[in-house]
Structure 1
Amino acid sequence: MVQIVIKKRSDTEEWTIIEMQGELQSRYANGLAGNNIGDLHFNKNGVPLLIIGHHILYGKVVSLEKPFAVLVKGISNENNKSKNGNELNDEDSAENRYNIQAVIKTKLVFTTRPKPIIIHVSKKS
């Protein structure tokens, strides 16, 4: 029997998923990983606004039916001895431990097409 311990830390973060329709492409060959794709803001009514380049997307906040947990695998330090009392290394440990790094309860859904941001400059006469 394998026992897997899941432990919630007191400093567990709360994350949010961002869901967008369509495809997001980078100008550069290195892709999007680790890059800033835009700015996320909320208006006074709590509506999320995502600004990507010269486009704006309006979204909504949705509560998930069942929350997700983000788990990080680690090894328990409590049971580092085998049944006969010998020390076990990390690979031989019979007890795996997963720490909950974050809980995801909400998502921001952007389903509409991006609208271009147009700045109107008034002409002086």
Structure 2
Amino acid sequence: MAIIIRVPSEGASEEWAIIELQGDIKSHTDSNFEGKYIGDLHFTKSGTPLLIIGHHLMYGKEAKLEKPFALLQKKRKEDNTEYLVKSIIRNKIIFKTRPKPIVGKHN
């Protein structure tokens, strides 16, 4: 069976990155996070990644992947399967420090 991989000829595609977390994310209600909102990713003025999950704040750093990943989209045709390259992922954002609680001011 032939596996066809096509690279779009439209030029540069969107740039993607992988987010790497050290530890687990747990929820009191759901065990499956697929398709769910988890948090917000921001960057400081100096370019430091900042991840906010609930009432927790984490600072991260950007790094290059040792081996890039390809983001593929699977397309099924009548008699074969074809993969379209959506993007090449070359970077990751690493969050390996403990989250800091976000505490508001009390009046």
**CA distance in structure 1 between the partners assigned to 2:98 and 2:31 by the alignment:** 25
TM-score, structure 2 length as denominator?
0.83
TM-score, structure 1 length as denominator?
0.72
**CA distance in structure 1 between the partners assigned to 2:33 and 2:21 by the alignment:** 15
- 2:91 aligned with 1:106, yes or no? yes
**CA distance in structure 2 between the partners assigned to 1:12 and 1:3 by the alignment:** 25
* Structure 1: tracts of 5 or more residues without a match: 77-89
Pairs within 5 Å for 1:27-38:
27-29=28-30, 31-38=32-39
User: Which digits, 9 at most, give the CA deviation of each residue in 1:67-123, with x for residues without a partner?
Assistant: 1101223357xxxxxxxxxxxxx13x5xx43210222111110000001112234x5
- Match for 1:97: what amino acid? E
Percentage of pairs with the same residue: 47
Equivalences, count: 105
Give 1:7's aligned residue. Answer: 6
- 2:100 aligned with 1:115, yes or no? yes
Structure (1 or 2) with the larger CA radius of gyration:
1
CA separation of 1:49 and 1:72: change in aligned 2, threshold 3 A: same
**CA distance in structure 1 between the partners assigned to 2:32 and 2:102 by the alignment:** 24
Give 1:82's aligned residue. Answer: none
* Structure 2: tracts of 5 or more residues without a match: none
Give 2:82's aligned residue. Answer: 97
**CA distance in structure 1 between the partners assigned to 2:76 and 2:56 by the alignment:** 45
Deviation of 1:33 (Å): 1.3
- Match for 1:110: what amino acid? F
**CA distance in structure 2 between the partners assigned to 1:35 and 1:106 by the alignment:** 23
Deviation of 1:27 (Å): 2.5
